[in-house]
């Protein structure tokens, strides 16, 4: 999972994953989305491939990339363990904000 999180830490790689969410894409199509040179795009795609987030296959002379959601599901499951903690804190914050609004309203 560390490799997946490392791959997700880069904005360009997240942009590629977002694009692949809509379906397979060629290297050229993905490169058009990023403000970097083609060799940089290839390096990002290699990182995503090594993390298991994308797979590549050849169609004639093109390399076509496809999203692999399984590693993202693993990260989702890991984060779920902490979601209850976040929700409790957000609920407590909501209660405090509501209490503050009520107190300001009753002093007028």
pLDDT one-digit tens code per residue, 30-57: 999 999 999 999 999 999 999 999 999 9
* Confidence tier at 106 by pLDDT (50, 70, 90): low
Which pTM does this prediction carry?
0.76
Give percent helix, percent strand, percent coil of the chain, each to the nearest 5. 65, 15, 20
Residues 74, 45 share a domain: no
Q: Of 31, 68, 62, 28, give the one whose Cα is nearest residue 48.
A: 68
More confident residue, 16 or 96: 16
Q: In which element (H, E) is residue 64 found?
A: strand 62-67
Count of residues in the chain = 108
Tell me, yes or no, whether 8 and 21 share the same domain: yes
Look at residue 2 in the predicted model and tell me its pLDDT. Answer: 93
Q: What's the number of domains the chain is made of?
A: 2
- Regarding whether 6 and 42 lie in a shared domain, the answer is yes
Same domain, 64 and 88: no
Residues 81, 28 share a domain: no
Which domain covers residue 93, as residue numbers? 69-108
Token pair recorded at residue 56: 């590549």
């Amino acid at each position: 999972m560390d490799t997946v999180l490392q791959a997700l830490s880069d904005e360009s790689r997240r942009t590629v994953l977002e694009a692949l969410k809509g379906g397979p894409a060629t290297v050229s199509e993905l490169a058009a989305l990023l403000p970097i040179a083609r060799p940089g795009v290839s390096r990002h795609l290699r990182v995503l491939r090594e993390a298991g987030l994308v797979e590549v296959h050849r169609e004639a002379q093109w390399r076509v990339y496809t999203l692999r959601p399984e590693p993202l599901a693993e990260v989702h499951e890991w984060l779920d363990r902490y979601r209850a903690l976040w929700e409790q804190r957000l609920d407590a914050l909501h209660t405090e904000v509501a209490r503050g609004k009520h107190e300001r309203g009753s002093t007028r």
